[in-house]
Amino acid sequence: MGKIKGCSNETCVAHKKKTTYKESDKFCPKCGNALTLVCKDCKTQLSSDKDKYCLRCHAKRDDKKDKVKIIGGGAALALGGVVLSFGKKAIGIAAKFKG
């Protein structure tokens, strides 16, 4: 999805309801004010035309990605430990049967 726009007129009904419009729309259909780019998550006005998210929402998204990486890495480490411990037990059992 592309960027979204919202009305920057604080007295407008569309601004109060956080109504969003397509990037190609130029003016608010409710009040006629020029539309500005807004954050996809919280609908606050963006300072840069390059971003889809404000700094706060961008940081939240990065934190979620980091948590997934940490949890995924921890799970792989735990699984490796379980396999290693069962492997040692299996070797011990096999040695008992040989001798």
Residue 67: predicted pLDDT: 75
Kindly indicate the confidence band of residue 3, based on its pLDDT and cuts at 50, 70 and 90: confident
Residue 89: predicted pLDDT: 60
Around 68, how many Cα atoms within 13 Å sit in the side-chain half-sphere?
A: 6
Tokens 């096999």 correspond to 94
Q: What does the mean pLDDT of the chain come to?
A: 79
| Predicted TM-score (pTM) of this structure | 0.59
Ordered by start, the domain boundaries in the chain are 4-98
Instruction: Between 70 and 90, name the one with better pLDDT.
Output: 70
Q: What is the pLDDT of residues 56-69, one digit of tens each?
A: 998 998 888 877 76
Q: Rounded mean pLDDT of 3-31? A: 91
Q: What is the pLDDT of residues 23-56, one digit of tens each?
A: 899 999 999 999 999 998 888 888 878 888 888 9
CA angle in degrees (0–180, nearest 5) for 94-96-99: 110
Q: Is 10 helix (H, G, I), strand (E, B) or coil?
A: coil
